[in-house]
Structure 1
Amino acid sequence: MSQESVNQSCPLCFTEKRSPFHQDRREYFYCPTCHLVFVPPKYFLSPKEEQAQYDHHENSVDDPRYRRFLGRLFTPLSERIVPGSNGLDFGSGPGPTLSVMFEEAGHKMAIYDPFYAPDLKPLQQQYDFITASEVVEHLHQPRQELDRLWSCLKPNGFLGVMTKRVINRQAFSSWHYKNDPTHVCFFSLETFQWLANHWSANLTVSGDDVVLFQKSNSSDSD
């Protein structure tokens, strides 16, 4: 194990004390404070390599199966927002679909993606809700990015996150989700509870891979 890996602190809560969790072609570490599982930066792909992976995605707004998949986040979130809400789809990908689904439901949507919609102006606005579907596992700096999203939420606003969750070490060892080279952060329910405490947010767990955070009426980003 390299000295660089030994000195790697948690990218979410910045705790320096962490332990080896698993090793295959990459090393994975576990943070005892926020329970994030993560890989060290030496395993990060370059932006060009990362986009090449995403360019292979064939998700389409016209694909009913993809819409059903996104419905796991769309449905519980749409039940909680008022008509005509203003939303942001963060990490919209090469074929924005979740934003279209919310627009079809009568909401106003902006999109941001570092590769496919890199204009930063949407990240300087305030929103009633923000979606991050299959995004957080890709974040190289999750604390910075998630705090930035939280600061873009209006009071009482919702942040909806879809990502597959870490269950335990044994399940992780054979988990296909970790094999994607663009996946570098892996969240558990305990990690999301840590985030809710960090933000003083209300956390709702919806199914196996969706959580909703609601900002309090007087909440500010830390």
Structure 2
Amino acid sequence: MMLICPLCASVDAAPFHRDARRDYQRCGCCALVFVPPAQRLDPAAERAVYDQHENSPDDPGYRRFLSRLFDPLRERLAPGARGLDFGAGPGPTLSVMFEEAGHPMAIYDPFYAPDAAVLERGYDFITATEVVEHLFAPGEELDRLVELLEPGGWLGLMTKRVASPEAFAGWHYILDPTHVCFFSEATFTWFARRHDLRLHFPAADVVLLQRT
């Protein structure tokens, strides 16, 4: 069966890995590794997994985790820059951190904060931490986020990156049934070129893209 890459819509995908639970295809165009649609969770099962998350702005450990994106992005922002936290989850925290630093924030999450009106206005920066690996249609969603950025605006992403087939086979990241898309440096490089974005890798699992 021909599979369409959910990021670039290419049909140039080939088997990359297989385990007892799922198959993984790698796109020959953008290098995205993805799970076939038939092997994704349905919305109810997906939300049941997210409902188990216990993230909170009162958790210092969670704040330290998010600081890997927060710190390098904040130092690039003008005072009062307006942001959107996309995929904020059941316990929005990164938005709280930016608000504490003087940045007005909106939040969006399809399950927990589904106000689509916030996706109709522009932002100086947009964050998505541990989000892109969950997207069924990453091409459509990320293209939309880029369009919401004001000129010079920043898109800050946090997701672990594919290294090699050997590392992938033993990778804990693929054990989460809600993780269906896996990006590599090559994938982000392809995406940056597609949108003429400036690309930065400030940490192993952090990507910053600036709209020109």
Q: Give the shorter-chain TM-score range.
A: over 0.9
Asked if residue 62 in structure 1 is aligned to residue 28 in structure 2, the reply is no
In the alignment, residue 42 of structure 1 is paired with which amino acid? Answer: A
Asked if residue 197 in structure 1 is aligned to residue 209 in structure 2, the reply is no
Aligned to 1:14: 9
In the alignment, residue 153 of structure 1 is paired with which amino acid? Answer: L
In the alignment, residue 117 of structure 2 is paired with which amino acid? Answer: K
Aligned to 2:211: 215
In the alignment, residue 85 of structure 2 is paired with which amino acid? Answer: D
1:115 is displaced (CA, Å) by 0.2
* Structure 2 length-normalised TM: 0.99
Q: Which secondary structure does the structure 2 equivalent of 1:81 belong to?
A: coil
For residues 63 and 30 of structure 2, the distance between their equivalents in structure 1, rounded to whole angstroms, comes to 32
2:71 to 63, 70, 75: 75
Aligned to 1:219: none
Aligned to 1:130: 126
1:44 is displaced (CA, Å) by 1.3
Structure 2 unmatched runs, 5+: none
For residues 202 and 28 of structure 2, the distance between their equivalents in structure 1, rounded to whole angstroms, comes to 24
After superposition, residues 151-162 of structure 1 pair within 5 angstroms as 151-162=147-158
Aligned to 2:140: 144
1:40 is displaced (CA, Å) by 0.6
1:43 is displaced (CA, Å) by 1.1
For residues 205 and 156 of structure 2, the distance between their equivalents in structure 1, rounded to whole angstroms, comes to 11
In the alignment, residue 5 of structure 2 is paired with which amino acid? Answer: C
* Structure 1 length-normalised TM: 0.94
For residues 6 and 108 of structure 2, the distance between their equivalents in structure 1, rounded to whole angstroms, comes to 22
Q: Which secondary structure does the structure 2 equivalent of 1:19 belong to?
A: strand
Aligned to 2:169: 173
Aligned to 1:118: 114
For residues 46 and 211 of structure 1, the distance between their equivalents in structure 2, rounded to whole angstroms, comes to 29
In the alignment, residue 16 of structure 1 is paired with which amino acid? Answer: V
Aligned to 1:3: none
Q: Which secondary structure does the structure 1 equivalent of 2:4 belong to?
A: coil
User: Which structure 1 residue ranges, 4+ long, deviate > 3 Å from structure 2?
Assistant: none
RMSD: 0.5
Count of residues paired in the alignment: 211
CA deviation profile, 1:113-138 (whole Å, cap 9, x unmatched): 00000010110010000000000000
In the alignment, residue 8 of structure 2 is paired with which amino acid? Answer: C
1:93 to 89, 93, 106: 89
In the alignment, residue 142 of structure 2 is paired with which amino acid? Answer: L
Structure 1 unmatched runs, 5+: 1-5, 217-222
1:32 is displaced (CA, Å) by 1.4
CA deviation profile, 1:163-185 (whole Å, cap 9, x unmatched): 00000000000001011000000
Work out the percentage of aligned pairs sharing the same amino acid.
62
